[in-house]
Amino acid sequence: MSVQTWTFIIVGLTFALYIGIAIWARAGSTSEFYVAGGGVPPIANGMATAADWMSAASFISMAGLISFMGYDGGVFLMGWTGGYVLLALTLAPYLRKFGKFTVPDFIGDRYYSNVARTVAVICALIVSFTYVAGQMRGVGLVFSRFLEVDINTGVYIGMAIVFFYAVLGGMKGITYTQVAQYCVLIFAFMVPAIFISMNMTGNPIPQLGFIGTMTDGSNMALLDKLDQLHRDLGFAEYTSGTKSMIDVFAITFALMVGTAGLPHVIVRFFTVPDVKGARVSAGYALVFIAILYTTAPAIAAFARTNLIETVSNQPYADMPEWFSKWEQTGLIVFDDKNNDGTIQYVADAATNELKIDRDIMVLANPEIADLPAWVIALVAAGGLAAALSTAAGLLLVISTSIARDLIKMQIRPNISEKGELLSARIGAVFAVMVAGYFGINPPGFVAAVVALAFGLAAASFFPAIILGIFDKRMNRQGAVSGMIVGITLMLFYMIKFKFDGFGGGTPEQWWFGISPEGFGTVAMFVNFIVSFAVSRMTTPPPQDVQDIVEDIRLPSGAGEAHVH
Cβ–Cβ under 8 Å, residues 323 and 356:
no
Nearest of 306, 315, 305, 301 to residue 353 by alpha carbon: 315
**pTM of the predicted protein model:** 0.79
Task: Taking residues 482-504, report their average pLDDT.
Answer: 77
Nearest to 142 by CA among 354, 446, 368, 351: 446
| 253 pLDDT above the threshold of 70 | yes
Q: How many CB atoms lie within 10 A of CB 234?
A: 11
Q: Which residue would you say has higher pLDDT here, 148 or 559?
A: 148
Q: Is the pLDDT of residue 563 over 60?
A: no
**What would the 3-class secondary structure string for 273-332 be?**
CCHHHHHHHHHHHHHHHHHHHHHHHHHHHHHHHHHHHHHCCCEHHHCCHHHHHHHHHCCE
Q: pLDDT band at 529, cuts 50/70/90?
A: very high
Nearest in space to 54 (alpha carbons), one of 138, 154, 156, 153: 138
Contact 486, 261 (CB under 8 A): no
pLDDT, tens digit, for every residue of 380-406? 888 888 777 777 777 777 777 777 767
**Which of the two residues, 261 and 69, has the higher pLDDT score?**
69
Q: Identify whether the C-beta of residue 69 lies closer than 8 Å to the C-beta of residue 361.
A: no
- In sequence order, what are the residues at sequence separation of 6 or more whose Cβ sits closer than 8 angstroms to the Cβ of residue 507? 513, 515
Cα-flanking dihedrals φ and ψ of residue 349, to 5°? -60, -30
Spell out the residues 6+ positions from residue 415 whose beta carbon is closer than 8 angstroms to its own. 407, 408, 423
Phi-psi region for residue 202, left (φ > 0), alpha (ψ -120 to 50) or beta? left
pLDDT at 169: 58
Segment 294-348, tens digit of pLDDT? 898 999 899 898 888 888 888 888 888 888 888 887 788 888 888 888 888 888 8
Q: Check whether 10 has a pLDDT greater than 50.
A: yes
pLDDT digits (tens, 9 = 90+) for 175-192: 777 888 888 889 889 999
Q: Which one-letter DSSP state was computed for residue 102?
A: S
**Domain limits of the chain?**
3-26+42-207+219-307+372-552
The predicted model gives 457-465 an average pLDDT of 86
| pLDDT, greater one: 104 or 530 | 530
Average pLDDT, the chain: 80
* pLDDT-above-90 percentage for the chain: 6
Count of CB atoms within 10 A of residue 37's CB? 20
The end-to-end CA distance of the chain, in Å, is 54
What pLDDT does 558 receive?
Answer: 46
User: Phi and psi dihedrals of 354, rounded to 5?
Assistant: -125, 125
Say which range, 89-98, 367-376, 476-485, 507-516, has the weakest mean pLDDT.
Answer: 89-98
- CA angle (431, 437, 441) in 5-degree steps: 145
Tell me the C-alpha distance between 358 and 111, whole Å. 43
Angle at 49 between CA 45 and CA 52, to 5 degrees: 135
* Fold topology of 3-26+42-207+219-307+372-552: Sodium/glucose cotransporter (1.20.1730)
